[in-house]
Structure 1
């Protein structure tokens, strides 16, 4: 590709759509040549690489120092090594928009990046690696982070930025606990009513991670209130703080349960949930092998009409045996069930369920026996079963 002569003399900003053209029309060697031509432009100040898959390899092959590029946007990068290469050959770079997909632990040390004053960073890296990157940007004034699989509480944020020039930090939700002034940093909610600030009225689906998880342990710093939850995924047992999160249970219609352990208190908590959810219709167990069927038989709810039993762990049994089917049929929830999704050992158990759970109107069932049955079904074949 040749930028001479007219285009090169007039260029100040490279077109954003250039990245797509770059990806579709050039082979690897041409891309490397083109990148070096871009870095050799005398008036190019802005450069955007969008949708350039495989760009990481070519970026490490830049060999010309640009004295003009001040803004750079890369939406698809593989590792930190690219940044080190870019900074060395782009010493005037001030503003960087960088989407980092992956970062390995054995990448080289970064060089200092004193020219960068603004960073928009989407990344999936460790906390220590993020801290290292920011420490190499001593003059950073503006920072926007989109962290993937990274959680930092307020004190960790403070430590992360303690050596930077950042003056204002926004986080959602705000993570500090009873801190209004900290060294040279101050904090304030922009909402005139603090109660409304912590109220999330548009959240309809909520997943509450196991209480032993670090996220939940720090979650107590967030006095949030959820008023319109319709679907809830929860791991039992739960801690006491959970009950303060959801302000109203009247909208909950679907509950997905993961059971951790065999403590009887789990079923007490589950019954507590049922007692507070007058509109709960669907109940799902995602690891039914840990379900105590004797205690399950005692659970009761006025509203539950749909039961779903599944086992997400491949190494565990996937099918109900005779005793488990009998417990389901004779349970309080089983007797009022209208929609059932379950896997059973054989077709005989499927017939037992269909004939004895008299309120069923929909049955989705999987049998472990895949061979044609020798039973004499009253229907025309062994796939469809007719019952009174």
Structure 2
């Protein structure tokens, strides 16, 4: 074997993994993700393993979590990061192999993330304000994150003075919390590859809606939207109606609250204009399901959680009352509709 790509979910596999590496002298490319903070391997340990057991290794890519002491002052915490990076500043790393690592950390989180450059993994979690240090002499190598296609972006402080050298140009799937800060568009300069958006806000105001509108305007290829908003207003719904686009899948949530009949009517009015084929909702009244089916010609799948769904609450129930009721109501109109249940979600395929 010359190539190994592996993800270790628990530190209990640590010893087995490195024992396995000892039996792979022909390995040339190693890519590994450590998902536990107890699996951190410092630079000296890596150096020993590679020199002793992986003599042909040409390419090393890793991502590790590093536990931090949150009781330290900001200056002391940065010194802690320097001590971590110093283990990767030997001649072995910088001169012989030109392998560089970066450490990202946040003052409000208990761990840092340490990874090789360029970043080699598909997904990235960005909890701003983020601080970074690396062993690379190329501070502004903005193409280091071209492999990232899925990004979770969570701003912790709205007013920040720091800027970032991290940029993402190829994001396809974005999960984001509003409001966003002023540096967001410098981190993601363009959205021409974006196809899936998960947008959340539990502090709704017009500013958040304007930010969402700007993001939607910048994403011409967007086909799947999951919107979790504090309040589903008519102006928010009209964001979708005012665009000449096709959204294949749409999910609308109101932070744990079911959509009432008036809100369902608003949605049913705009869905045909965006040619939505898959709709995910949590509703208060089952009769709204029938209205969706009867008014949306493009709809092909409907995934519903219903507030008055007694079958989902009764573990002893042998008959699914809601699914039976739906089948009776629509059988005369849609003879090929398939209705199933998964936990609290009723799924309908409409033909």
TM range (shorter): 0.5 to 0.7
Match of 2:66 in 1: 147
Q: Tell me if the contact between 1:211 and 1:239 (Cα under 8 Å) persists in the aligned partners.
A: no
* 8 Å Cα contact 2:155-2:181 kept in structure 1: no
The answer to whether the 8 A contact 1:237-1:259 is kept is yes
CA distance in 2, matches of 1:241, 1:100: 29
SS in 2 for 1:271: helix
CA-atom RMSD, angstroms?
4.7
Q: List per-residue Cα deviations over 1:179-217 (Å, max 9, x = no partner).
A: xxxxxxx986344xx54355411000011113428xx95
Q: 2: CA distance between counterparts of 1:295 and 1:333?
A: 17
Alignment partner of 2:238 out of 284, 287, 298? 298
Matched, 1:283 2:228: no
* Aligned pairs for 1:146-225 within 5 A: 146-148=65-67, 155-160=75-80, 171-172=101-102, 189-191=136-138, 195-197=140-142, 199-212=144-157, 220-225=162-167
Aligned match of 1:324: 263
Unaligned 5+ segments in structure 2 are: 1-11, 20-35, 47-62, 90-99, 106-132, 311-320, 340-347
Cα distance in 1 for partners of 2:38, 2:84 equals 25
Q: CA deviation at 1:374?
A: 9.4
Residues 339, 361 of structure 1: 8 Å contact kept: yes
- C-alpha separation between the residues in 2 aligned to 1:376 and 1:162? 67
Q: Which residue of 1 aligns with 2:56?
A: none
- SS class of match (1:255): strand
CA contact (8 A) 1:209 1:235 kept: yes
Aligned twin of 1:267: 209
| CA deviation after TM superposition for structure 1 residue 348, in Å | 1.3
Q: Residues 213-238 of structure 1, C-alpha deviation per residue, up to 9 Å, x if partnerless?
A: 8xx958x4432111100000000111
**Counterpart secondary structure, 1:324:** helix
State how 1:17-166 maps to structure 2 within 5 Å: 50=15, 101=38, 146-148=65-67, 155-160=75-80
Change in CA separation of 1:230 and 1:333 when aligned onto 2, cut-off 3 Å: farther
CA distance in 2, matches of 1:165, 1:273: 36
Structure 2 CA distance for partners of 1:167 and 1:255, relative to 1, 3 Å: closer
Rg larger in structure: 1
Residue 120 to residue 332, structure 1, CA distance change in 2 (3 Å) = same
Whether contact under 8 Å (1:225, 1:244) holds in the other structure is: yes
Deviation at 1:310? 4.3
Q: Deviations over 1:110-160 (max 9, x none)?
A: xxxxxxx99769xxxxxxxxxxxxxxxxxxxxxx98415878999445433
**2:279 is the counterpart of 1:340:** yes
**Which protein is richer in strand relative to its size?**
2
Q: 1:364 aligns to what SS in structure 2?
A: strand
Residue number in structure 1 paired with 2:122: none
Gaps of 5+ in 1: 1-22, 24-47, 52-72, 74-98, 103-116, 122-143, 176-185
**Greater relative contact order (CA < 8 Å, ≥ 6 in sequence):** 2
Q: What's the CA shift for 1:331? A: 3.0
Per-residue deviation, residues 80-108 of structure 1 (Å, max 9, x unmatched): xxxxxxxxxxxxxxxxxxx8759xxxxxx
Contact 1:379–1:386 (CA<8 Å) still a contact in 2? Answer: no
Contact 1:249 1:277 in 2 (8 A): yes
**2:250 and 2:278 in contact (8 A); partners too:** yes
Aligned-partner Cα distance in 2 for 1:164–1:279: 41
Pairing 1:377–2:324 present: no
Per-residue deviation at 1:266? 0.9
Residue 244 to residue 336, structure 1, CA distance change in 2 (3 Å): same
Query: How many Å separate the matches in 2 of 1:165 and 1:171?
Result: 8
Partner of 1:236: 178
Equivalent residues of 1:237, 1:260 under 8 A apart: no
